[in-house]
Structure 1
């Protein structure tokens, strides 16, 4: 078994990461860390066996209880980092320097520049490196994987695509009431925090069609003053193969919600949402008639599946390709380009990484 520690805080760490770790037989939770003692103790208390989980924190200062003390433990071989966006890169680097394997939450960093610096340092280390994966749980959704499979099976050349995500982040929402999200010190607010999921889902289906976004132009807005600095973006995007599509993401539509990603090729169309995939193809008899297929899925966050994949990577000594930091960097570059294009009055942004 691999000894693992959860470095996290808040509701998501308790409700998603903790049970995900404990659901994998090859992982043993040894310790938890959060910046405050109260938060760390709450995280440990939510575990299956609190008495077996050591607690570490930086405030108040207590000898032997710091993050560095945790990272010195020989029985902790890996860590899951689920800390606020701006704190993650430094903690990821500290853990890697301590020789621990790392699975860090999305986005890979708060900005592309910070992500490039961290990835460059990691890849430039000639010594035997611990594994570092970035947790994008949408890439582990059964429904999204099935949709990608159908895109590949249908084949044909990409014609167009769209990503539509509507919803409202209300003041009563448990994630809104996380202080670092309520008053974000990073670009994009919820568009960064949640938007990378939507970009990852779109890119996953475009990848199944053999393409990816290379250029975009967008308009952004703040429709709900509580969701600073910006909550909505509408954009047009072009792939490397020269096909155009649209991207709409908003956290400010109280009376409309839902997410849908659609990819259309010369041989069919696949429309995805987290609980349903609709495939439209020709009948294949020359009649021009169409056949529609629907497949439903139970709701899943994908977090347990991504942690299971990380555990498998530890056993194999090789990271799953969809968990690489560079894959997460591509999601972040597109999201940041959407924000910068909107801020610049719909300037054209090229995707280069």
Structure 2
């Protein structure tokens, strides 16, 4: 790959993507261009990129504003030295930009969520599969929780039977957002024009949740969630349209051999910065349980496994295993994408998998107590 461009110059692009690209070192294609709707933000990002990635010259700046030679269209159609783009733009803009980039012959890594809702996501995936995938173009969705080594390690432990057959799970994500938060002050999130507000958007550090949590569950559970019932509410008037979901979900495998259920509590409406109960995911099986907790202060995802040891003629004993994996989700998803453009696909970033995450949140927002069939939400039939 001769070069890449980043489309979007906001907080997550600066604070997550640039450091991750730097950590990949020699395995990183050259960042040759950056686009933002704002000329100032594009210049600021290019300066930061040059310093972080030690680039000389700095990436070329493209932006909106009237000059067609520095527009997004110019970047996509005239830069033959750019093979792929990383799209880190507001969710309402991303679907059209993804298609525009694919039409220009660029591979695409787009930030999660895959689309604002399942209907538009299905249309986007169908168009990619019909028109661009046959041309050898790669489109992946950057969901860093899916790529986190910690959640992948938890999935391996469950597949290896360390907690037996999965019976139920519990998810808790509690966040405190005030009007001084840098995430709250981002204009497109303070007046959201897509469902779910903060619940649909996925951020960095203390705001992880929504589709992030759904992705972590998707990775760890032995089969997809198929049904959900829940309630959504608004508890802080400056976080419309919703800031809280409480749901119960279950999985019924097609052969009916695997059935389990669990609860999910997701809120951005905590009245205090302190938490009454730590965030985390706990999955319980017939022979033990596993918990997954992201500890940002230590830079790790910690997996705790308690297994029951059965010994003939002796009381059952508990065996504990703790696995700490460094937080590397963004780095890992970039690495996976670059490998996919060269023909090595490890399955990370599959748009249909990311659509399941949107379906989980969409169902939680729309259910109002009714049972929602998640499989129908992601079905094109």
Q: Distance in 2 between matches of 1:95 and 1:260?
A: 37
- 1:113-152 to 2 correspondences below 5 Å: 113-125=119-131, 127-152=134-159
What is the aligned partner in structure 1 of residue 8 from structure 2?
8
- 1:161-180 to 2 correspondences below 5 Å: 161-180=169-188
Q: Is the 8 A contact 1:22 1:29 kept in 2?
A: no
Q: Tell me: CA distance 1:258–1:69, structure 2 relative to 1, closer, same or farther (3 Å).
A: farther
Q: Work out whether 1:36 is the aligned partner of 2:38.
A: yes
Q: Where in structure 1 are there 5+ consecutive unaligned residues?
A: none
Q: Work out whether 1:62 is the aligned partner of 2:77.
A: no
Q: Distance in 2 between matches of 1:258 and 1:320?
A: 32
What is the aligned partner in structure 2 of residue 268 from structure 1?
288
Q: Is the 8 A contact 2:283 2:290 kept in 1?
A: yes
Q: Is the 8 A contact 1:133 1:319 kept in 2?
A: no
Q: Is the 8 A contact 1:138 1:144 kept in 2?
A: yes
Question: Match of 2:30, SS?
Answer: strand
Which of the residues 193, 196, 202 maps onto 2:211?
Answer: 196
Q: Work out whether 1:322 is the aligned partner of 2:345.
A: no
Q: Deviations over 1:82-131 (max 9, x none)?
A: 00010000000000011100000000011111111111111112741310
Q: Distance in 2 between matches of 1:172 and 1:304?
A: 29
Question: Match of 1:86, SS?
Answer: coil
Q: Is the 8 A contact 2:163 2:289 kept in 1?
A: no
Q: Work out whether 1:183 is the aligned partner of 2:209.
A: no
Q: Distance in 2 between matches of 1:82 and 1:50?
A: 23
What is the aligned partner in structure 2 of residue 102 from structure 1?
108
TM-score by structure 1 length? 0.93
Q: Is the 8 A contact 2:85 2:106 kept in 1?
A: yes
The CA RMSD over aligned residues, in Å, is 1.7
TM-score by structure 2 length? 0.86
What is the aligned partner in structure 1 of residue 307 from structure 2?
281
Q: Deviations over 1:283-341 (max 9, x none)?
A: 2324212222223344x2511121111112122x2443121111111111111111111
Q: Which aligned segments of 4 or more residues in structure 1 are displaced greater than 4 angstroms?
A: none
Which of the residues 320, 325, 328 maps onto 1:292?
Answer: 320
Question: Match of 2:69, SS?
Answer: coil
